[in-house]
C-alpha cells in the first residue's frame, strides 16, 4: 500500500529508508562532507535527507544570497522536538541566510480551531520568546504573521489557480468532510515558501526549508507549483532538508504537545522534568543484573536520544555513553540521573535567558 504523510497527524513511520524511496528524498550522506562547520544535527545524521540542498551549499560557499524559510504553528506549548528547527535556523543565520519566519496563525486557526487572538498569545509566549532565548536573533529575521501578510495571501490566490481538488486529495488525503478553509490552507503554506522569491522580497534565489519528514507534502506541492509558475516568477525550486522526529518520552513516534506527559517543554521546571524523566522509556533490560550481563540498546532509548539531539554536545562523551550502555557498564538509573542533571541545567539557564528575550520580542512587535 502506498504511504501517505499527514502534516497534521500524530503518527509517522519510523521507516525513513522507505519514506525516502517512496517520496524521492535524497540521502544527506551524499552532501554531509561538504557542509561547512557541520552542526551536531549533521554529524549525528539527525538530518538524514534532502531535496536539492546542493544549490544552497553552493550559495553558502560563494557568499551568494539564499533564503531559509520556516513556519511555526502556534497551537500548543513548545517542546524539545520543536527546538530542532530553531537549532538549524541559528546555524543558517550564522552562515548568511536571509531568514523568513512565519507565524502560521491561519494554520492553527483552520486546523486546530483556535481564535487568531489565542494563536497570537501562544506564538509570542511559547514560541517567539523561546526562539530568541535559544539564540536566534529575531531582529535579523523577516518575521511575519500569516494572517497579516497581504503578499502571502495574494500570491496564494494566484498559485491556487493551478491547484485542484484531485491534487490535494492525492497529496493530503482530503475528503468530503474536510473544511473549505483547511482545503485552501496548503495554498497559503506554499505561498509562504515561495513568496521570499518575489521581486519585492529579494527575487528568485535558492531557498531551503528545514522540516521534519511529516511536512514533506507541503514541499512536494511547493516544488510542483514553482515549476508550473516558472515562466511568470522565475522561481528556483525550493530545497529542503529532513530531520528525524523526536520520540515521545513513552517511546511513541512523535513528541507532541497534545500529550504533555510525553514531552519536555521549554518552559518546564526542573521538577516537571524530573517527574517525566523518571517514567521515560529506555532501551534497558528489565533488571539491573540483566543489564550488566546483556547491556542495553541505546538505539531505542529515549534518554539516549535526548542526549544525542540536545543534551550532550561533545561527540566523545556521547560515544562513551553509548558504548558503556551496550557493554552493561551503566544501568538506566545512573544514566537517567546524568541526563536529568544536563536537562535541569538547560531548563534553568533557558528560563533566565527567556527574561531578556521577552523584552526583545515585546520591542519587536510593538
Ligand atoms: Fe538508555 Fe542509558 Fe539505559 Fe542505555 S543505560 S538504555 S542509554 S538509559
Say whether pLDDT at 128 is over 90: yes
- d(CA 241, ligand 1 centre) in Å: 29
Read off the pLDDT of residues 227-273 as tens digits, 9 standing for 90 and up. 999 999 999 999 999 999 899 999 988 898 889 999 999 999 999 99
- Has domain 260-364 been given CATH number 3.40.50.1980? no
Chain-centroid distance, C-alpha 295: 32
CB atoms within 10 A of CB 14: 13
- The residue length of the chain stands at 366
Read off the pLDDT of residues 174-198 as tens digits, 9 standing for 90 and up. 888 888 888 888 999 999 999 999 9
Which H or E run contains 71? Answer: strand 67-72
Residue 5 pLDDT = 52
Joined together, the cell numbers standing for residue 116 give: 487568531
Say whether pLDDT at 10 is over 50: no
- d(CA 1, ligand 1 centre) in Å: 35
Any atom of ligand 1 within 6 Å of the Cβ of 328: no
Cα 334 from Cα 332, distance rounded (Å): 5
Say whether pLDDT at 7 is over 80: no
- Burial of residue 256, with CB atoms counted within 10 A of its CB: 0-12 exposed, 13-18 middle, 19 or more buried: middle
Assign domain 16-243 to its CATH architecture.
3-Layer(aba) Sandwich (3.40)
Cβ distance 42 to 28 under 8 Å?
yes
Mean pLDDT on 114-128: 94
Read off the pLDDT of residues 131-159 as tens digits, 9 standing for 90 and up. 999 999 999 999 999 999 999 999 999 99
Instruction: Give me the residue spans of the domains in the chain.
Output: 16-243, 260-364
Residue nearest to atom 5 of ligand 1 (CA): 332
Q: State the closest ligand 1 atom to the C-alpha of 326, by its place in the atom list counted from 1.
A: 4
Any atom of ligand 1 within 6 Å of the Cβ of 187: no
- d(CA 345, ligand 1 centre) in Å: 20
Cβ distance 108 to 119 under 8 Å?
yes
Cα 336 from Cα 228, distance rounded (Å): 52
| pTM of the predicted protein model | 0.92
Chain-centroid distance, C-alpha 289: 39
Read off the pLDDT of residues 324-349 as tens digits, 9 standing for 90 and up. 999 999 999 999 999 999 999 999 99
Q: Which of 301, 308, 331 to mutate to test the pocket of ligand 1 (most atoms within 8 A of CB)?
A: 301
Q: Which of 325, 334, 338 to mutate to test the pocket of ligand 1 (most atoms within 8 A of CB)?
A: 325
Read off the pLDDT of residues 275-301 as tens digits, 9 standing for 90 and up. 999 999 999 999 999 999 999 999 999
Any atom of ligand 1 within 6 Å of the Cβ of 295: no
Q: Which of 330, 337, 341, 342 to mutate to test the pocket of ligand 1 (most atoms within 8 A of CB)?
A: 330
Q: Which of 296, 300, 306 to mutate to test the pocket of ligand 1 (most atoms within 8 A of CB)?
A: 296
Confidence of residue 4 (pLDDT cuts 50, 70, 90): low
Amino acid at each position: 500500500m502506498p504511504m501517505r504523510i499527514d502534516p497534521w497527524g500524530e503518527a509517522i513511520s519510523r521507516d525513513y529508508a522507505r519514506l525516502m524511496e517512496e517520496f524521492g528524498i535524497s540521502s544527506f550522506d551524499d552532501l554531509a562532507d561538504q557542509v561547512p562547520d557541520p552542526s551536531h544535527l549533521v554529524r549525528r545524521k539527525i538530518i538524514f535527507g534532502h531535496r536539492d540542498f546542493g544549490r544552497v551549499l553552493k550559495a553558502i560557499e560563494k557568499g551568494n544570497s539564499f533564503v531559509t524559510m520556516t513556519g511555526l504553528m502556534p497551537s500548543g506549548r513548545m517542546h524539545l522536538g520543536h527546538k530542532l528547527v530553531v537549532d538549524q535556523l541559528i546555524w543558517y543565520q550564522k552562515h548568511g541566510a536571509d531568514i523568513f519566519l512565519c507565524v502560521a496563525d491561519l494554520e492553527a486557526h483552520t486546523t486546530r480551531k483556535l481564535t487568531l487572538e489565542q494563536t497570537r498569545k501562544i506564538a509570542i509566549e511559547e514560541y517567539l520568546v523561546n526562539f530568541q532565548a535559544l539564540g536566534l536573533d529575531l531582529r535579523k529575521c523577516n518575521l511575519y504573521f500569516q494572517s497579516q501578510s497581504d503578499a502571502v495571501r495574494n500570491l496564494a490566490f494566484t498559485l491556487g489557480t493551478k491547484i485542484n481538488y484531485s491534487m490535494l486529495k492525492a497529496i493530503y488525503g482530503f475528503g468530503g468532510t474536510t473544511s473549505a478553509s483547511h482545503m485552501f490552507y496548503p495554498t497559503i503554506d506554499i505561498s509562504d515558501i515561495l513568496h521570499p522569491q518575489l521581486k519585492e522580497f529579494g527575487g528568485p534565489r535558492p531557498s531551503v526549508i528545514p522540516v521534519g519528514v511529516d511536512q514533506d507534502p507541503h514541499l512536494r506541492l511547493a516544488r510542483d507549483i514553482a515549476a508550473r509558475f516558472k515562466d511568470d516568477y522565475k522561481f528556483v525550486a525550493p530545497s529542503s532538508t529532513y530531520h528525524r522526529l523526536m520520540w515521545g518520552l513513552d517511546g511513541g513516534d512523535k513528541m507532541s504537545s497534545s500529550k504533555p506527559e510525553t514531552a519536555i517543554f521549554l518552559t518546564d521546571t526542573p521538577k516537571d522534568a524530573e517527574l517525566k524523566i523518571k517514567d521515560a522509556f529506555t532501551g534497558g533490560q528489565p533488571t539491573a543484573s540483566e543489564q550488566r550481563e546483556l547491556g542495553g540498546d541505546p538505539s531505542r532509548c529515549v534518554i539516549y536520544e535526548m542526549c544525542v539531539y540536545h543534551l550532550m554536545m561533545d561527540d566523545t562523551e556521547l560515544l562513551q555513553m553509548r558504548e558503556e550502555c551496550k557493554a552493561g557498564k551503566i544501568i538506566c538509573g545512573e544514566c537517567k540521573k546524568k541526563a536529568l542533571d544536563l536537562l535541569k541545567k538547560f531548563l534553568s539557564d533557558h528560563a533566565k535567558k527567556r527574561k531578556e528575550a521577552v523584552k526583545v520580542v515585546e520591542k519587536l512587535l510593538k
